[in-house]
């Protein structure tokens, strides 16, 4: 149950690459790492989930909180590289209807 979170501040957005599992054990580390970026005005965060092998409801909760924080600060969130399993999780919960989800990883992001 490990997670690696790589954050790079680019000129126009903040790029986050997550590798591993997002669950009750790793979600606090994820929240602690990315929420400070969401508190800035007009921030765009692009999260690459192409190497996330598992996510439970705790992980979904992190993304809902991140999405709300970014919206409150006029920022945006884009999720990329979702596996079919992760995509289905976002579809079933209705989050795919409100979040910007792209199954492809754009421009090497």
Residue 81 pLDDT: 95
- Over residues 70-83, mean pLDDT: 95
Q: Whose CA is closest to 15, among 86, 80, 65?
A: 80
Q: Is the pLDDT of residue 108 over 60?
A: no
For residue 98, which phi and psi values (nearest 5 degrees)? -110, -20
Q: So what's the pLDDT on residue 1? A: 63
> In the prediction, which pLDDT does 104 show?
64
Distances in Å between the Cα of 93 and the Cα atoms of 75, 87, 104 are 22, 10, 21
Q: Roughly what angle, to the nearest 10 degrees, separates helices 57-72 and 27-38?
A: 10
CATH number, span 3-108: 3.30.750.24
pLDDT, tens digit, for every residue of 3-62?
999 999 999 999 999 999 999 999 999 999 999 999 999 999 999 999 999 999 999 999
CA distances from 53 to 2, 3, 48, 84 (A): 11, 10, 12, 11
- Tokens for 1, please give them: 């149950």
Is residue 109 over pLDDT 50?
A: no
- What the block records as the tokens of 75 is 């920022």
């Amino acid at each position: 149950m490990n997670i690696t979170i790589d954050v790079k501040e680019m000129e126009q957005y903040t790029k986050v690459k997550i590798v591993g599992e997002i669950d009750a054990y790793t979600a606090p580390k994820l929240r602690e790492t990315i929420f400070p970026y969401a508190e800035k005005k007009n921030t765009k965060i692009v999260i690459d989930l192409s190497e996330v092998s598992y996510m439970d409801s705790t992980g979904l909760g992190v993304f809902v909180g991140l999405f709300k924080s970014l919206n409150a600060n006029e920022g945006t969130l884009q999720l990329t590289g979702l596996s079919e399993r992760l995509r289905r999780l976002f579809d079933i919960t209705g989050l795919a209807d409100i979040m910007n989800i792209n199954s492809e990883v754009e421009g090497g992001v």
